[in-house]
Structure formats: structure tokens, C-alpha cells
Amino acid sequence: MGFLYPGALVFFALIPALVLAYLAKERPARVTVSSVLAFRALRGFRRERFGGWPRLDWMFFAEVFILSLAVLAMAGPFIWKKTAPLAVVIDNSAAMQALTPAGKSRFEVAREKLDAALSAEDGGGEISVYVTAPQPRRVAPPFNTLTEARIALSRIKPTDAPNDQTTLENFLGNLASEARVAKVIFAGSNALAAPVPARIHPIAVGDAVANAAIGSFSLRREALGAVALHASLSIANFSPDTRTLELVVTGDGKEIAHAREAIGARGTATLEFPAIPPARIYEAKLAPDDALALDNVAYATAGSVKNVSILFISPTPADAAGLNSIPGVEVTARTPDSYSPSDLGTFDLAIFEYAAPKEIPGVNTMLAMPPPGDPVFGLTVTPTAKVQIAGWRTTDTLTDSVNFRLLSLRGGEYFGTHPWMSQVVGGDGGAIVLKGERGAHRFVATGFNPFPYLGRRNLPMSVLTLNAISYLAGLGASSNGSRTGQPWLVPAGVERVILPSGSAVAAHPGTLFTAVSEQGVYELVGPGGAKTPRAVNLADLTESDLSSSAPLKVEAANSGSAAAPLMEKSSLGDYILAAIIALTALEALIVYRRRRTAEAAAP
């Protein structure tokens, strides 16, 4: 036994002082009475009492005892206890959902084996339970008993997210190196590569199983105004034989495409569907069924199918007439005086012509000839009577198919170097077109005003403008969606996210959304209840490969040594505190009852 704060024991010196103070307080009270005649007969009683004068109530001893316990508690008493802290790691990645020939999932088998392994432990130390996906983490503070650990294990469910193999290897290595962990039991579908650290006891579950999987499901719009979408899917056959796989794509529940493909052993194929009709949510299903149902399904969404809505803010709103002639574009024009940042909530992008917002807009934005001295974007503007193009990025989406030699610009302005927007088109006096991203939004600034010249009169100007709008509207880029386990930025205006399971999670724009362990379609709910779907897929062929899982290479600092039993300080403070509370409560109860009895006896 030892003390964390032995200095506190000096307070024991107070106890004799307190005893003396108590005795002084309990000194007989001097009372003048009319006559001591009747008291003479009582003197014998005092002499009969053991110890004589003064009379010490038993409660006095109880209080001294409580005081001693309090001083003892202050000193932080502890005892040394042999302990063997245990770390239990269960693989809860998507691959653990794969069914074994017995009909149970790999995860259930792993849990049963862990349960059996825990039964063999003596439970002499804390037990920490960890999961591996999407990132390794401890599920709860360490448990003191095996029963608690078993209960915690029974509550864990496998996720749809894959393991991050490198992170998992490092995590297991760190656990095996930690001095406070005597033993690590890891149950998962991946075997551990030799040499296995001495402290790690691996439990491998699941034999090699043939599996087919959808690797990716992406959509893209080929051109602005086009209604049909281009779908692209990659599928894989993780089996030793050639298999014919059938893929069915449905849009909002209706079958819109299907394909059959024979894929060789451990081979992959890409299926293209160049013109699939518009739908809100697309679902691809792979047949036949196999051990892992999760990767036989993939989702995609096509938010870009709808028209691009643009808020056009300009002192000359009539300039927006040229945009209205573009198919798939809806323009709402406003003057800067009638504009409010809250207006942006229902638009896909904003265009400021001869104007600049007073704060960074919450949507993708184009600035056409912004006025000098704008404090929000901090553009350095140099007006010029004749803008002369000197160069451009040939591989940029903004300059794609633009014949700059035919592009004639009149008056305009040059931009100076900008901290976060890069030059796309440059002239003699500086940049003419800038683009950049800020807070998950895209921004384009032009030193000329393209809108009055749209149409056949100035074809290069029209192409450049359409490129800019396409870039800002996110067209042309494939919409692969997100992957399970990978957080994404919450877009502007989103207040909450409804998960595929149906539960809603509050979300804050600009922050990372981490509740991404489920595969399916997430609904991003914006102002007024407007919902935007977002597809989240496993999309990890490594995870889907159930026939040849790569072994984990775990390296521990003390890989050669088995853990020696640890000596741990076990505090006695809680027990002492409990004793103090119990004794104090008992004393209070007795004092109360005594007082009640005395009051009842009083005339």
C-alpha cells in the first residue's frame, strides 16, 4: 500500500487537537441550581462509568474515525495490483458482412470467436474494445469486467465502410507497442503477415470466397443543355473462373439500362451507358447474388439534370437576356439594390455584372467586370480602353474550344495577382480571366463583359461564357458520388442530412460530415425542406476482393517480447469516500432520531 500524496498525512496531527477541542467543548457545563441536595444522590453514577470523567459519546469516536478516513482519503491511498490490460479489436469493415458457407456473416463469426477468446482470459485488467472502420477507434472507455466488454461487443455492428489498411496496420502496431496493453486480440478478415508481434493474438475469420462487385458508378452530362446523362460503371469478378455478370440500372425505380458481360478470372470491365434518361436517383444492381451483397449495389444521383438556375445581379439587368437563350438555363435578374445574400439559397450560381457582393456568396459565382476597390474579393482592377489577350491555359475547361484568335474584346479591365484565384486568360496589362475555389465554391472573374455579345455575333465569346457557366454549374465532371467512410464537406445551405437508414443528422455548412458509414442515398435538406440526394457507395474493389485479402503488416516496437504482467496502482479513495458517506449518513440519522425522541419526551 502506498500514498499518492503522503504529505496529506500530516493532517493526522490535527486529530489530537480536535480531540482536545472536543473534550474542551464537552467540559461539563456549570449550572447554578437552587440546591445541590437532590443531586448528591446522583454522584454514584459517574463513578460507575468506565473511564470516569468525562463521558465520551460513541458518536465522538465515530466522528474521529470519519475524520481519520477523510485524512486518509486526502493522502490518496492505493495498493499495487497485478493487471493485464487487454485490447480487443474487431474488424467491422464492409468485408465482414460477407457470409460464410455456414450462413453467418464473418462479423458474427469473429464476435463468437472473440467471445470464446475472452472466456479464456482471467479478466485481471481493463479491457478496451476497438473497431477498425471507417477509422480505428475505441468504442467506449475501458471496461473493468469481461461481462461489460462482451456487452459492448454485442452492440457493435459492421459498417459499410472499408478498412484503411495502412491506418489499421499502424494502429495495431501502436497497440502492440503500448506499455499499458498486455495483450491485443484482433479478429478480422485479414490475416497478419509474419512476424506477428508477440502481444497480438490474431483471429482470422472467413475463407476465400468468390465475389463480384461494382467498383464505381459515375454519371456526367456531356454538354450544357443536354438532357440525357452518360453513365459509367466498373465491375469486377473476384473468382478463379470466368463469370457472366448481369447489370441492371434503374432510375427512380424504373429499369433504364441493362448489360451482360463475361469477365475473366479476377478481371474487371467498364460498362458505358451514354444516354440514360434523367432521374433523381439511379441504382445499379449486379447479378447473380454472392457472399457480399453490399458491393452488388451502387447508387448515383444526377442533380445536374435539372436546369441551371442563375441569379443575375447587374445595374443593367437587360444584359441577362442573352443567357436566357441558352437551353437548360433559367436566369433571374436583379439590380444590386434589390439583392440580398439570402436570395442565393435557391440558385445554383450567381453572376455579378458591374457589381460585387458584400460578402463571399454561398454559391458558385461569376464576376463580370467587378468595380475597383471591392473589399470582399480584393481584386486589383486596372481599367483599360482596349483589352489585348496575350495568352491562355490551353488545357483549362474555361478555354476548351475557344478560338482566342477570333475573340475580339473592346474596353475592359486587367486584374492584378490574386491570392487565391489563378489566371486562366492573360493580357498585356494583367489577367483577363481568373478562376479559383474558396469554401467549397467556385469563382470566375472576367475583365470584360461577355453578356451583351452572346450568340452568333461573337462565337468565341459565347463558347467562353458557356464554358464558365458549365464550370460553375459543375457540368462535364463525372459525379462519382462519395465513398463510405470518407467525410465530405457540407454544402452551403444544408441544415441536416437524412441518412439511408432514415435517421436525420444536423449538419453545418463548410464542416466535414462524418456520419458516412452507410452505403446508400443521403438526402441533404436545405432551407424550406428542399432535398438534394447524394450517393455514397462502398466503391472499393480491394475491400470487395474476398478471395485474396492482403495480410496486414504489423510492426511493433517490442515485437519480440511478450507482455510482462503490469503492476497498477489501484486507488482506495472511492472505497474510503463511500465509507465516509455511509458513516456520516448513519450518524445524521441517529442524531435526528435522538432529537425527535427528546422533543417527544419534552413536556
Partner 1 sequence: MFGLPDEFTPGFLARLEKLRIRTRQRYGGLGRGMHLSPKRGSSLEFNDFRHYSPGDDFRYIDWGLYGRSDKLYIKLFHEEEDLLTYIFVDASASMAYPAGDRKFESAILTALALAYVALASGDRVMLRVLGGSGGKVNPSFVNGRHRIVELARRLHNLKPGGQFDFATSLATELLAIRRAGKVFIVSDFLMLLNSVTRGLGMFTAASMDLTAVQILGGRELNGQGLDGDVEVVDSESGERLRVSIGDRERTQYRETMLRLTREIKSFCLGRGLHYALYTTDQNFQNFFVRAVSDLGLAH
For residue 39, state whether it binds partner 1 (rule: CB under 8 A): yes
Q: How far apart are CA 433 and CA 398, in angstroms?
A: 9
b/e sequence 98-110, b meaning 16+ C-beta within 10 Å: bbeeeeebbbbbb
CA distance 369 to 377: 13
Which of 26, 207 has the CB closer to partner 1?
26
Using CB under 8 A, pick the residue from 18, 43, 145, 382 that binds partner 1.
43
Q: How many chain residues are in contact with partner 1, going by CB under 8 A?
A: 26
Check residue 24 for interaction with partner 1 (CB under 8 A). no
| Interacting positions 406-445 with partner 1 (CB under 8 A) | none
Tell me the closest approach of the beta carbon of residue 602 to partner 1, in angstroms. Answer: 8
Tell which one of 33, 120, 194, 385 touches partner 1 (CB under 8 A).
33
Q: Which positions from 495 to 534 touch partner 1 by CB under 8 A, shown as an x/- string?
A: ----------------------------------------
Please, are residues 475 and 505 in contact by the beta-carbon 8 Å criterion?
no
| β-pairing verdict for 496-498 and 504-506 | antiparallel
Say whether residue 30 binds partner 1 (CB under 8 A).
Answer: yes
How far apart are alpha carbons 555 and 170 in whole angstroms?
8
Minimum distance from residue 579 beta carbon to partner 1 (Å): 28
- Please select the residue that binds partner 1; options are 1, 17, 25, 45, rule is CB under 8 A: 45
CB atoms under 10 Å from CB of 208, counted, come to 13
Give min distance, CB of 591 to partner 1, in A.
Answer: 14
Q: In the beta sheet, which residues pair with residue 183? A: 86
> Interacting stretch for partner 1, rule CB under 8 A, among 42-50, 273-281, 527-535, 585-593?
42-50
CB 387 within 8 A of CB 427: yes
Could you say whether residue 55 binds partner 1 (CB under 8 A)? Answer: yes
523, β-bridge pairs: 498, 533
Nearest residue (CB) to partner 1, 38 versus 120: 38
Provide the H-helix boundaries in 133-239.
146-155, 165-177
Shortest Cβ 601–partner 1 spacing (Å): 8
Chain CA centroid to CA 240, Å:
37
Span interacting with partner 1, options 29-37, 111-119, 219-227, 349-357, rule CB under 8 A: 29-37
Which cell is 296 given? 452488388
Q: Which stretch binds partner 1 (CB under 8 A): 48-56, 160-168, 460-468, 540-548?
A: 48-56
Minimum gap (Å) between residue 64 Cβ and partner 1 = 18
599 binds partner 1 per the rule CB under 8 A: no
User: Identity (one letter) of the amino acid at 2?
Assistant: G
Q: Which of 282, 283, 257 is nearest to 271 (CA)?
A: 257
Closest CA to 205 of 105, 354, 66, 72: 105
Q: How far is CA 216 from the centre of its chain?
A: 23
Which of residues 36, 376, 562, 588 is near partner 1 by CB under 8 A? 36
Distance in angstroms (rounded) separating the CA atoms of residues 19 and 336:
85
Determine if 40 is a binding residue for partner 1 (CB under 8 A): yes
Candidate residues 1, 13, 17, 31; the one interacting with partner 1 per rule CB under 8 A: 31
Q: How many residues does the chain have?
A: 603
Q: Which amino acid is at 525?
A: V
Based on the shown chain and the rule CB under 8 A, indicate whether residue 32 belongs to the binding site for partner 1: yes
Does 600 sit near partner 1 (CB under 8 A)?
Answer: no
- The backbone torsions φ and ψ at residue 566, rounded to the nearest 5 degrees and listed phi first, read -95, 145
Are 387 and 414 within 8 A, CB to CB?
A: yes
Cβ atoms of 580 and 66 within 8 Å: the answer is yes
Pick between residue 102 and residue 601 the one whose CB is nearest to partner 1: 601
d(C-alpha 377, C-alpha 452), whole Å: 24
Q: Of the listed pieces 23-31, 375-383, 542-550, 585-593, which binds partner 1 according to CB under 8 A?
A: 23-31
Q: How far is the CB of 76 from partner 1 (least distance, A)?
A: 38
Q: Does 38 bind partner 1 (CB under 8 A)?
A: yes
Of 42, 385, 506, 600, which one interacts with partner 1 (CB under 8 A)?
Answer: 42
Segment lying near partner 1 (by CB under 8 A), choices 35-43, 149-157, 299-307, 528-536: 35-43
Task: Indicate the residue among 54 and 264 with the shorter CB distance to partner 1.
Answer: 54
603 binds partner 1 (CB under 8 A): yes
**Cβ-contact 227, 485 below 8 angstroms:** no
Q: Which residues make up the interface to partner 1 (CB under 8 A)?
A: 26-43, 45-46, 49, 53-55, 602-603
